[in-house]
Structure 1
Amino acid sequence: MKAFTGVSRLVLLGFFGSHIIFTLCLDCQAVLPESLFPQALIDLGKYEVETFNDPLMGNARNLLWFQSMVCLELLFQLPYFFAALYYIGDASATSYPDGFRAACIAYGAHTSTTLIPILSTFWAADYNGTTQERVSLTAMYFPYLAIPAWLLWTAATDSSGAKTGQKSD
């Protein structure tokens, strides 16, 4: 797979770097005991819920389907974030190994798929948020659909190894 360069590379580095922070500081509060988190992070989570009226993070302990997605994020996505930073962070790389390309496809497909029920929740008839809250939540969560879907498309359609008839390292 051809290496990311320029703005694409910087966007992905920022996305995965920030996603590690958000996963560890906020998202995992949905499934791990509150006693594991400093009060400042608990307060930050409560602030996000109150500010945006987030029906998922605000009710995560009662939503098994959402908790299962957060568990997948911790078990599958979080290790991938570190691998992505490792490979994409190498500014001298001209290509990535086939294994990383496969991981990008798996990550992109998995994450894009999980975001559909999440985003749908904000627009469901039983969510009592205002239009502004729905739009704000959608805008806040949308990059977690768009960037993985773009990464999936990029990795799945990359034919740089096929053009030369050689496999990437």
Structure 2
Amino acid sequence: MAAKSLIQRPLDLLYVCFFICHIPATVLLGIQALYTAPWLPDLITSLPNIYVETYQDPLVGGAMGLLGSSSNYIWFYPFQLLEIFFQLPIFILGIWGLLKDSKKVYIPLLAYGASTATAVLPCVVVLFSTPVTTAETLAEKVVSVTAEQKLILLASYIPFVLIPFAMTIDMALRVHKFVKLGLQAQHAAKSR
């Protein structure tokens, strides 16, 4: 059976676009949260500061110490490690496998989807609970965001819960289909 084109597989097309869009954020921001290489150009090393100044992201800013002490965001560090050492390779594998319509990527994408949806959900909860900037939060130097920043942050984080969650369900159903076919073939072989 010939492989279907990516256009004929709308969910796979969505996943490929999602991975392609996520790679620059991981490479340009995610890695710097763990290590800023002295050989990186100033433009790249200034990106986290520009991002945090613009959106006041309490997660990135907190983890990088750009909004005060990073000790309250120590829980975020393992998620950054996952993003760099697990998710980034899966982005590349996923793009390659989905472009080729390879069934071999279903299990890694299932693992990616479940892991990522689970990791990003607490981040969304933090964003929901981050106070909106008021005179009091400014006076007390409490990390806060404007209502507009909160909406932008939520709009940028929520797809990273929803798309991986949908991918988890989709890939689980695809894998289930193959398991069912395998069991039927095994049963048929025993019946002979």
The 5-angstrom pairing of residues 106-117 of structure 1 reads 106-117=111-122
- Residues 65-118 of structure 1: CA deviation (Å, up to 9, x unaligned): 11221011111111111110110111xx3x502xx2221221111100011111
- 1:85 paired to 2:95: yes
- For 2:177 and 2:128, the matched residues in 1 are separated by 40
- 1:37 paired to 2:40: yes
Which has more radius of gyration?
A: 2
- Once the 2 structures are TM-superposed, how far is the Cα of residue 130 of structure 1 from its aligned partner? 2.1
Counterpart position of 2:86: 76
Greater RCO, 1 or 2 (C-alpha within 8 Å, sep 6+): 1
Counterpart position of 2:59: 56
The 5-angstrom pairing of residues 5-44 of structure 1 reads 5-44=8-47
Q: TM-score, normalised by structure 2?
A: 0.74
Counterpart position of 1:157: 173
In the alignment, structure 2 segments of 5+ residues that lack a partner are 65-69, 132-142, 187-192
In the alignment, structure 1 segments of 5+ residues that lack a partner are none
Q: TM-score, normalised by structure 1?
A: 0.84
The 5-angstrom pairing of residues 86-165 of structure 1 reads 86-90=96-100, 93=101, 96-97=103-104, 100-125=105-130, 127-158=143-174, 159-161=176-178, 162-163=180-181, 165=184
Equivalent residue pairs, number: 161
**Could you list the runs of 4 or more consecutive aligned residues of structure 1 that deviate by over 4 angstroms after TM superposition?**
none
Note the aligned Cα RMSD (angstroms): 2.3
Alignment identity in percent? Answer: 27
